[in-house]
Amino acid sequence: MAVALADTGLLAGAVVLAALGGEAFLRAIVGAAGAFRVPKAVVATTLAACATSSPEMVVSTVAALSGAPQIGLGDALGSNVANIALIFGLALLFAPVRAAAGGLGADYTLALAAPLLTFLFLMDGVLSRAEALLLLAVFAGWLIWTVRAAHASRSGARETSASTLPVGRIVLFGLFGLACLMLAGRLFVLGASGVAASFGVGGYVVGVLLVAFGTSLPELVTVLLSRLRGHDDIGVGTLIGSNLFNGLAIVGVAGLIHPIAVPRAEVALTLACGVVALLLLRPNADGLIGRGRGVLLLLLYAGFVWGTLQ
């Protein structure tokens, strides 16, 4: 009973920290958009996505350095499924999201192409260092293009993104919020792992499902609070950007440190679910992503969990 109470306490602490950190981090994103005079979606796709993907980067790097890069690959790809199918699916239950199909742009197209490229590289069962380096090169090219596009859009966003926070406070909010979110993710993984162990759930399932969800907790809180505060562009941008960081940068770093040998069949389900989730993210002709799409995304995630447990 003592262990169960301790695990429950960890989960409760994760929820409290996630709420505090998410609010602070969201304020930092909005403030940074005003300070840099760029659209909030651009800040979300780059800075916010990079920050919320930092738990996956830590897990993947440590796993690769320990000679087990498969853990990092599974965490990064599993988090991508959780980001869209679970997190955005939950967000859509609050209310539909309006975002013109063309507004998703090149980031969305690249997010679709990244898992296909990864699967192509894993056709022989190994992600080599050369292939990992190519993933990093694609990521670097996307990041350079995004920064240049943001610079070009500064004058257009000047009137609509006026910052009311000084830069120092933006930095403090960002660091505090991110620290709380990362700690919340860690507490969630520890608590959920303890609960799973008490029910006899195996380590592989804990890693693929619980660790992936725990490292996706920053995205979950950021997206849900963005919805509640009326910043849908931040939520969508954070998820797409996080998928690009996970699929290109994190997998690339892990593979560069240590070649990743994994059976093709093991990653096929995860990559396929990631692509289908992104396709369900595309708005209708009227520019609306409705609640019905959220239900489909949640059903997809349930199918992904069921398939992983088989």
Q: What is the spatial distance between Cα 28 and Cα 170, in angstroms, rounded to a whole number? A: 5
The per-residue pLDDT for range 30-73, each reduced to its tens digit, is 777 677 666 666 666 676 677 667 667 766 777 777 777 777 78
Using DSSP's 3-state secondary structure scheme, residue 260 falls into strand
What pLDDT score was predicted for residue 36?
A: 66
What pLDDT score was predicted for residue 114?
A: 93
Q: What is the spatial distance between Cα 80 and Cα 29, in angstroms, rounded to a whole number? A: 21
Q: How many CA atoms lie within 13 A of 233 on its CB side?
A: 14
| Mean pLDDT computed over 180-192 | 72
Question: What's the mean per-residue pLDDT of the chain?
Answer: 77
Q: Please tell me which residue, 279 or 29, carries the higher pLDDT value.
A: 279
H/E stretch holding 30 reads helix 2-36
- 248 CB-near residues (< 8 Å, 6+ apart): 114, 135, 136, 138, 139, 142
Q: What is the spatial distance between Cα 36 and Cα 20, in angstroms, rounded to a whole number? A: 25
Domains of the chain, first to last: 2-309 (1.20.1420.30)
The per-residue pLDDT for range 191-219, each reduced to its tens digit, is 766 766 676 665 546 656 666 777 677 77
Looking at beta carbons, which pairs linking 61-64 to residues 24 or more positions away fall under 8 Å?
Answer: 61/253, 61/254, 61/257, 63/254, 64/253, 64/254, 64/255, 64/257, 64/258
pLDDT band at 88 (very low <50, low <70, confident <90, very high): confident
**8 Å CB contact between 190 and 30:** no
Q: Please tell me which residue, 160 or 164, carries the higher pLDDT value.
A: 164
**8 Å CB contact between 74 and 207:** yes
Which candidate, 90, 84, 103, places its Cα nearest to that of 247? 84
| Mean pLDDT computed over 139-166 | 67
How distant, in Å, are the alpha carbons of 23, 153, 276 from that of 29?
10, 17, 29
